[in-house]
Amino acid sequence: MVRGIHYGGACAVLLAVAVALGLGARGGAAQLDDKFYDGSCPGVHKVVRRVLREAHKADVRIYASLTRLHFHDCFVQQGCDGSILLDNSTSIVSEKYAKPNNNSVRGFTVVDDVKAALEKACPGVVSCADILTIAAKVSVELSGGPRWRVQLGRRDGTTANLTAANSLLPSPRNNLTMLQRKFAAVGLDDTDLVALSGAHTFGRAQCQFVTDRLYNFSKTGMPDPTLDGSYRAQLAGSCPRRHGNRSALNDLDTTTPDAFDKNYFTNLQGNRGFLQSDQELLAVPGATTAAIVGRFASDEKAFFRSFAAAMINMGNIKPLTGGQGEVRRNCRRVNGS
């Protein structure tokens, strides 16, 4: 049973249309349509949902992982084009091996399973870029988060950009100024930044992304002073200074680690954000992000509305549409390669 507050039906349609119209200047964003597959593959959402439910039985992390995969695809220079899914080849240097992605982003085999199921149901119709978009939406819904009408009609890119993935993706160690700069570079504002950061309300992160906060923050040889003492002790037990496993997993939200809710923001208010980039949203007194965190912490409906809008905004980053790009038959490689 899906828990929480949901935004479907007419409200979601109006939200999607309003955002899409507002972002029409972003390449082919105005050509995206929530009814894009109604005639060519009407069961697309049911197929994605079925495959994801099955994957979740063996991997409770998969919903958060697929949501993150969509984010990491859209933020790279070409936008939401499925480039993160491409493997190395004679013509492709894969984004999977960029520092923010290597041994970190996951869910590729589930995307393969979704693609195989859709190729069986409606061959050559649904792009890998749209699979990522739908999978993120369904993952949030199945974790108790909001529902929205997802805009579709993206085509798949035929290139990858390792350099851009290394430089443009937000880092867990970025300060607030850098986070704002990276979001603004793709047309996203502070509300989008805070709302999308709220996706850290579910999922896990490795010790390597918090050890500097525990033991050598900003190369001071001391812990991050904004980190709650009891939470720091808890993390130090999981991520010891010496001889620890850098890949050991920790809940991003210790309160409800697998549910999509507003507890990420209440955790930030208690200085219990796992990543530096999380706590940075509150680190600068008077920053607009701090006020947004406060609003979301006290009003889950407001968070859900803003998250749905931010996901639509992010999904509209430089989409390939019409005759641009292609619809890959295999998400891991360009057609004909």
Residues forming the active site? 72
- Which residue matches tokens 């792009």? 127
On whether 81 is known to bind a ligand per the annotation, the reply is: yes
Strands (DSSP E) found in the chain: 204-206, 249-251
On whether 73 is known to bind a ligand per the annotation, the reply is: yes
Report residue 215: phi and psi, to 5°: -130, -20
Residues 6+ apart with CB under 8 A from 25: none
On whether 95 is known to bind a ligand per the annotation, the reply is: yes
**Structure-block tokens of residue 133:** 């978009």
Q: Which residues of 68-79 are buried (b: 16+ CB within 10 A; e: fewer)?
A: bbbbbbbbbbbb
Task: Compute the distance between CA of residue 14 and CA of residue 208 in angstroms, rounded to an integer.
Answer: 42
**Cβ pair 182, 75 in contact under 8 A:** yes
Task: Compute the distance between CA of residue 52 and CA of residue 74 in angstroms, rounded to an integer.
Answer: 21
Taking the CA atoms of 321, 325, 330 and 335 in sequence, report the sign of the dihedral they define. positive
Task: Compute the distance between CA of residue 101 and CA of residue 95 in angstroms, rounded to an integer.
Answer: 7
Closest residue by Cα to residue 205 from 157, 273, 155: 273
On whether 83 is known to bind a ligand per the annotation, the reply is: yes
On whether 79 is known to bind a ligand per the annotation, the reply is: yes
On whether 298 is known to bind a ligand per the annotation, the reply is: no
On whether 253 is known to bind a ligand per the annotation, the reply is: yes
On whether 119 is known to bind a ligand per the annotation, the reply is: no
Task: Compute the distance between CA of residue 301 and CA of residue 126 in angstroms, rounded to an integer.
Answer: 32
**Cβ pair 152, 16 in contact under 8 A:** no
Per DSSP, 250 falls in state: E
Closest residue by Cα to residue 100 from 159, 158, 160, 162: 162
**Structure-block tokens of residue 39:** 């005639």
- With vertex at residue 183, the alpha carbon angle to CA 192 and CA 157, rounded to the nearest 5 degrees, is 105
* Residues annotated within a binding site: 73, 76, 79, 81, 83, 95, 170, 200-201, 253, 256, 261
* Residues annotated within a binding site for substrate: 170
* Residues annotated within a binding site for Ca(2+): 73, 76, 79, 81, 83, 95, 201, 253, 256, 261
